[in-house]
Structure 1
């Protein structure tokens, strides 16, 4: 067993795991944060997307020991003081989810996408960047609409600050 220490959603945590433990399983099983979903275990679906050291990654493709010392943000860490993150709020307002299974990964991918593009997004870019996230319920129309809405909302909020 190997000791892994991470900062998860702003809190320093440690736990022991086998060297072969995937980060997604460490997050869910050792830390009890079940918002990060296990979908395919092959990096195809994106349900396990989290932020590691400021970038979105698929946590089923990383061993927990490889993430040792990293800063992790999961879907549980986005809302602040009971207020939804603008991307979460946009998904809710624009019906960007149905069954909800892919939603955490979509939201985490969208937050990173908006941050990297400075909120300057168009439909083509959003659709291209969401290619690694699979939703089996929708035609992606409301997901794309949610991401674009959140990008606009975040630009307005940043301009006001």
Structure 2
């Protein structure tokens, strides 16, 4: 396993606006806390909240990263205390609380998923936001069960 650098390149939002306001910055590499993993980002998705945040109409929630990027895929390079689901070197994808537009990103160990061999790392980087949103709404909130039918009559965007 490689030695982690102290600094990383991120893509920050210099001011509200279009894509031209996304600017490279240098920031410290974050350290995972309890139950967290650090992912060396290989791919990050672009979602509607990222565009809204960039335009100034969607501030990050309190305590979340000010960097855009709600989904990432990459390699686990560090683990916080109690993070035992994934080991160093695992290739994972995860929904994150912002910060995906960076070389390294913190994720909850329990939310990260192994990237299946059938997906490229680029595909995996664009999957968690939609997958977890649909799963939560259809199976956890909607309680869809085997044998039932689901009609989706107004799907848009990634969902």
Would the TM-score normalized by the shorter structure come out above 0.5?
Answer: no
Structure of greater Rg: 2
Question: Per residue, is there more strand in 1 or in 2?
Answer: 2
Question: Per residue, is there more helix in 1 or in 2?
Answer: 1
TM-score (norm 1): 0.36
